[in-house]
Amino acid sequence: MTDKKEFEGRIERVLISKDEIDKKLKEYGEIIDREYAGKPLLLVSILKGAFIFLGDLSRSITIPHEIAFMAAQSYFEGTSSSGQVNITLDIAQDISDYHVLIVEDIIDTGRTLKVIHQRLKDRNPLSLKVLTLLDKPERRVVDFKADYTLFTIPDNFVIGYGLDCGEYYRNLPYIAEYKA
Ligand code: IMP
Ligand code: MG
């Protein structure tokens, strides 16, 4: 896509403003500061969707921590899930000396996190928790619950703040509903 009008025409409405996101970032930065004080903390972010969230969350945390990335694909194009999860990038480091916090953009069917959570759990981190920016509980296909959820949203496809539709819209500073 190269046409700005076409791009903007598919932004249905702002669901969560940048201000609302910033407030939650501050709140959860403080929660993580308290929870992991004095502990070796590793944030494991799932690319690509969580890249902006991870950047902001990391800067809202004031205690020392490391970051690492994994990548998984379950949506290949458009707004429908393929059902199959492929891990396309894995972390190389030993995580057995870390408290690991998985940082995800959205939990939809739950399939991606189920796979990633199990994969990390098998490597015996000191602890393993999940923090997600968004949760769409109505869409769950496999049982999965995050430890921390910033926003629970209804079953609409959303874009922005890292989340894409066909690789576009990740750059929107807010979260919006997509007009199909
Ligand atoms: P799940 O495996 O179905 O829970 O969802 C996995 C991935 O699908 C998420 O990490 C997102 O990258 C993507 N996804 C799910 N719902 C949406 C949405 O509403 N907008 C954009 N991406 C989504
Ligand atoms: Mg994702």
pLDDT over threshold 60, residue 77 = no
Which ligand 1 atom is the nearest neighbour of the CA of 104? 10
User: What is the pairing mode between strands 175-178 and 86-89?
Assistant: unpaired
- Please measure the distance between the N-terminal and C-terminal CA atoms of the chain and give it in whole angstroms: 15
In a domain, 52, yes or no: yes
**Predicted structure pTM score:** 0.95
pLDDT over threshold 90, residue 169 = yes
pLDDT over threshold 80, residue 79 = no
In a domain, 1, yes or no: no
In a domain, 164, yes or no: no
Mean local confidence (pLDDT), 32-48: 98
In a domain, 29, yes or no: yes
CB-based pocket (< 6 A), ligand 1 = 49, 74-75, 81, 104-112, 157-158, 163
Sorting pLDDT into bands at 50, 70 and 90, what band is 40? Answer: very high
User: What is the number of alpha carbons within 13 Å of residue 171 lying toward its C-beta?
Assistant: 4
Which residues, including other chains, have CB under 8 Å from residue 83's CB and lie 6 or more apart? 74, 109, 111
- For the chain, state the CA radius of gyration: 16
In a domain, 38, yes or no: yes
Neighbours of 144 (CB within 10 A): 18
In a domain, 107, yes or no: yes
Cross-strand partners of 67: 43
Query: What is the sign, positive or negative, of the torsion defined by CA atoms of 22, 56, 43, 36?
Result: negative
pLDDT over threshold 70, residue 80 = no
What is the residue-averaged pLDDT of the chain? 95
Q: Give the number of domains in the chain.
A: 1
Specify the CATH number for the domain of residue 101: 3.40.50.2020
In a domain, 180, yes or no: no
Sorting pLDDT into bands at 50, 70 and 90, what band is 75? Answer: low
C-alpha 38 – ligand 1 centre gap (Å): 33
